[in-house]
A = this chain, B = another copy of it.
Amino acid sequence: MSNKDRLVERALAKMRARDVLDADEEAVFRGALGDLREIPAGRTFVRAGENLTHSILLLDGIACRYKDLAGGERQIMELHVGGDFVDLHGFLLKRLDHNIGSMTPILIATVPHERLREITRSHPHLARLLWLSTLIDAAIHRERILSIGRRDAVGRIAHLFCEMAVRMEVIGLAEGGRYRLPITQGDIADTTGLTPVHVNRMLKKLRDEGLLTFRGGEVTVGDRERLAREAEFDPAYLNLEREPR
């Protein structure tokens, strides 16, 4: 199995976690993927307002959706990991309302919109699964609204790490409550609507209480039970049940 095939498995694993894919559908999905591209860390590779003709599947590395305000304040809407179809939204929106950037070196595959359109004509069930993946993005957005709107600083951070743990497990990149998340405390601040200084303080608190350690881009969950309670984390919104869609 080539490296590409192995990485594409992550995207398939995500879909298989939610429904059964037949061999034809898997083949069509693989066939839709175009060129691979490597992008270094810290690049904005899709910009708000650009006209899009291709969507992008993230194969490896960490990326994010974000928007800025005029004063330079950045808000990250969602973190993305291998297997996430990061700008599938652009297929029908035609132009994104936000930017997409790489937080680490990443590997992506492009998918022409025309091929996605063809899938909606010839493979409605596969199309529904693609649709579903954008619905799960929306569910993740809603959970973030709840976090930023109503959870306190510790709860927001705890919730983010709970979510990423589950999403990493789905693609086989987390086990035993450990996973790599090579981002900075400033990135966490931009995701949780806090400042880097306050994130630092709350991370210390979580560490001191034995709930979680975040160091050198490595997350170690110390006490999953208590962390989830602190965050009021319920993974239901990630829709990890295999059923006919």
B75/A145 in contact, CB under 8 A? yes
Q: Across the interface, do B77 and A135 meet the contact criterion of CB distance under 8 Å? A: no
**In the bound complex, what is the Cα–Cα distance between A141 and B98 (angstroms)?**
12
Q: How far is the CB of A80 from chain B (nearest CB, A)?
A: 14
Query: In the complex, how many residues of chain A place their beta carbon closer than 8 angstroms to a beta carbon of chain B?
Result: 50
Q: Once the chains are docked, how many angstroms separate the CA of A70 from the CA of B89?
A: 32
Nearest neighbor of A73 in chain B, beta-carbon distance: B150
Partner of A134, one of B48, B124, B135, B144: B135
The complex places the Cα of A235 from the Cα of B43 at a distance, in Å, of 26
**Contact of B131 with A67 in the complex, beta carbons under 8 Å:** no
A14 close to chain B: CB less than 8 A: no
Contact call A193/B131, Cβ cutoff below 8 A: no
CB-CB under 8 A from A134, the residues of chain B are: 131, 134-135, 138
CB distance from A60 to the nearest CB of B (A): 24
